[in-house]
Chain A
């Protein structure tokens, strides 16, 4: 898109006036000045095209984007031209939450050079969304026209519910951390026994200090440990529940899930749409957050599938405002 600036409009008016004067008087020197003004218009178009040509943008998205929390994005501009520098480049992206867009100005980007720009955007709502898109534009060379590129990188982004710090009373007792050690060999962290090293054993488990004392390689045997297993039951809201409350409860669920998994709890999310299975790593947290991000409120509450056997359960009824409760 090309649109005239305020100075550009005046320039066009002046060109028109000189054209009118030249036509009326037949004065060839006025025609010469008119030709100069028209040539400057053409040159302006060519130079702005040249300055934006082969300037590429590479966007880096944050790993997770949470609703209402500023997400840091990064863009790398690269001037792919062999010799010519680019001048007066503007880069902007609309703020999804409203308010002024993020803007960046680059006076000069030499040939073959790169420039990285980091900025923050805030998504007000959870769910799958598209980024507004980066717009590259310039007023080079004379400031008479704005040449605006099409928005690029309107990448899809899944906005998770907001994960916030939990207040002490918000975490049910069943989610409190605590490892249960069992009296048998396993793969926990505690020492169960020491025995001589045998071929095929994991050399990383050699207890060097004892080996030095005994004069033979001694191997640590670890005790089996049981992680706490918890099932987070997410009940559909009752009809007519306030949307803000539902969103607040989804945010609570996300916060609890993050807190629990980072505390070493094996968590399973159960909603009317299905179960995530139990897991205790970051990838599993992503699965849970994704489920929460795409959760859509049904017209009527649905029943929950049975959770995986074992472990305790925590219940959140969306929109009820009761927080997380220990369940049966």
Chain B
């Protein structure tokens, strides 16, 4: 491809890549972005247009003045943020440059503008799409920089002939593209290594973010019966949960769920929290918060949660959280044991959790009794005026149950067995929604099931509350984590047992619930999501703790390698000493020597400078033994260059015959040394030996 065309093409691709980076942010509207792309595309022919349109320059001057006026307004009023106003200005400058592209300097300016776009995007997005844009940018920037540099160098060195030379010299060949592509790949690898190695000073805070996304998930901080709907079908991923032991422990807790927030107050239609107070969770170390005490004999589950911004400050975790590790400044707990941040995070957050989700054994729960503390009675037996049918159902279901635990199980099983799970909920005007669910339609979503069970238990004198959170999610085989989607939003019930605390019950028919929620996502989709997860885990959320982990792993591996080498050496040596025959020793030594020789030969072939150095060293060594070895070496070097010494000439005649040749001076000096040694019987002084070696080196280089 022709040099100017390729340079232009790579600059345009770079510009489009910069626009793609901006598209990841909310700083430019889709219409504005489309306009920018169109302006960029049309500018390809701007050079031709420039010659035809009269007052082309003046037209752009007018446009610039208009835009500057707009930019002031944009900065003051229109733009959502300062960064957005700057991005708009960058876009205008880019379009201006493309339509007025004349010199290499303009191309360099465009390169700088695209870099600023990439920089702006990096502060406003954490999207996985940034990765391919970044990689492409690196490749294109490398091409552009190299070609632009060569063009500028040629123009500066050969101003008259630069166009012709650039056109004639076949620079942009397949080999050039492959080499620069390979170099870009190496650069990318280096970038990754440097990225991992740069010390992270301080905490990893979140980027400037676009305002938090609106509450779009099925999760809510208030449960309102009948107000649930199509959101549950949304497959957007809300969070990902990966395990420290690659998910081996997930099998131990089959009914894993991610608890969010619990509700204690029911007004007949909606569940809410009666006590809005929160207490700060005690921080143990810089990043660890102690939530509950360790309960002996129960397995622990360690995992990391990557929570997308869903507009809530609630932190989701498996029940009975022992510790929570996060770089975020503070964690609080509400009256119902929910963990919350001080404010909804603006972007994805990551936290590590250790939980003991396994409930106490049924025998212990059966023996827990009904000695509820007054505070529990006051808050978790509260009920509004309910239709008599609900009370009757509660009485009928729990009558004769030997313990509250058995009563809870009966209610749970009854609801799961007799009612139907459904997402198609038509409101029933004029009728109590709970009564409609339990006795009328007998179908509802998880919130109805949870609310129904909690109300029935409270009506039977058993403290209960409704919990909102997420079901376990879908296991990603590729990335080894649970992907929890919006449609996994779930409600269940927690029942209080004296001495054992709150224990979860889930009255929603499991099979129906799961079949309506878990679609087997394709393998390709899993790959992409795993990539996204890794991007978040190892790029966006990479921190000083990860660096320490990498360093520790490297140290361990180097220790392992060192020990195995040491062991191998000692074992081999012991074998040699113990039983090997003399002949085998000799064979081994010969093989080692041959290997060394081969390696030396290979090295000398590959690096002539090493071979020459070795020759000179040998020469230096031998120059001190036979007095005239250096002269013989000189003759060999000269013979190789076509100046063989005829036998009829004396040394001096031979040297004089070379007058005017480039080799004359070293030859003359070496001949003088030779004559002194040969006929004067005087050995060379150490300084002269060095001088002879230096002269021979000069001779060899000519």
Inter-subunit contact A29/B187 (CB<8 Å): no
Inter-subunit contact A103/B157 (CB<8 Å): yes
Distance, CA A27 to CA B541, complexed state (A) = 9
> Residue B204 contacts which of A28, A33, A140 (CB distance < 8 angstroms)?
A28
A39 close to chain B: CB less than 8 A: yes
Q: Collect the chain B residues with CB atoms within 8 Å of residue A103's CB.
A: 157
Which residue of chain A lies nearest to B130 when distances are taken between CB atoms in the complex? A29
B188-203 near A? 1/0 per residue, CB < 8 Å: 1011101100101111
Inter-subunit contact B153/A143 (CB<8 Å): yes
From A56-64, A172-180, A191-199, A292-300, give the one contacting chain B. Answer: A56-64
Inter-subunit contact B201/A23 (CB<8 Å): yes
Inter-subunit contact B154/A105 (CB<8 Å): yes
Q: Do A28 and B542 form a contact, CB below 8 Å, given A23-B201, A88-B149, A142-B145?
A: yes
B135-168 near A? 1/0 per residue, CB < 8 Å: 0001000100110111011100110000001100
Distance, CA A12 to CA B187, complexed state (A) = 17
CB distance from A148 to the nearest CB of B (A): 15
Interface of B is mostly: helix
Distance, CA A25 to CA B207, complexed state (A) = 7
Q: Collect the chain B residues with CB atoms within 8 Å of residue A84's CB.
A: 179
Number of A-B residue pairs having CB atoms within 8 Å of each other in the complex: 133
B650 close to chain A: CB less than 8 A: no
A2-42 near B? 1/0 per residue, CB < 8 Å: 00000100000010001000110111111111111011101
A212 close to chain B: CB less than 8 A: no
Inter-subunit contact A32/B134 (CB<8 Å): yes
Distance, CA A255 to CA B538, complexed state (A) = 81
Inter-subunit contact B702/A33 (CB<8 Å): no
Distance, CA A50 to CA B123, complexed state (A) = 36
Inter-subunit contact A29/B539 (CB<8 Å): yes
> Residue B662 contacts which of A61, A80, A286 (CB distance < 8 angstroms)?
A61
Q: Collect the chain A residues with CB atoms within 8 Å of residue B540's CB.
A: 28-29
Inter-subunit contact A155/B665 (CB<8 Å): yes
CB distance from A254 to the nearest CB of B (A): 17
Inter-subunit contact A43/B145 (CB<8 Å): no
> Residue A28 contacts which of B187, B188, B190, B541 (CB distance < 8 angstroms)?
B541
Q: Collect the chain A residues with CB atoms within 8 Å of residue B169's CB.
A: 107-108
Distance, CA A30 to CA B123, complexed state (A) = 7
A304 close to chain B: CB less than 8 A: no
Inter-subunit contact B122/A47 (CB<8 Å): no
> Residue B190 contacts which of A31, A43, A143 (CB distance < 8 angstroms)?
A43
Distance, CA A42 to CA B188, complexed state (A) = 12
Q: Do A32 and B539 form a contact, CB below 8 Å, given A26-B200, A26-B203, A141-B149?
A: yes
Distance, CA A134 to CA B610, complexed state (A) = 23
| A interface residue numbers (CB < 8 A to B) | 7, 14, 18, 22-23, 25-36, 38-40, 42-43, 47, 56, 58-61, 63-64, 80, 84, 87-88, 90, 103, 105, 107-108, 139-143, 155-156, 283, 286
A-B contact pairs, 30 of them (CB 8 A): A7-B108, A14-B115, A26-B202, A26-B204, A27-B204, A27-B205, A27-B206, A28-B541, A30-B123, A31-B195, A34-B194, A35-B195, A40-B142, A42-B190, A58-B702, A59-B662, A63-B660, A84-B179, A88-B150, A88-B153, A105-B153, A107-B153, A107-B166, A108-B169, A143-B148, A143-B152, A155-B662, A283-B656, A283-B659, A286-B659
A31-B542, A107-B171 known; 13 new pairs, CB 8 Å cut-off, are A18-B119, A23-B202, A29-B126, A29-B539, A34-B194, A35-B192, A39-B187, A40-B187, A60-B662, A87-B171, A139-B153, A141-B145, A142-B149
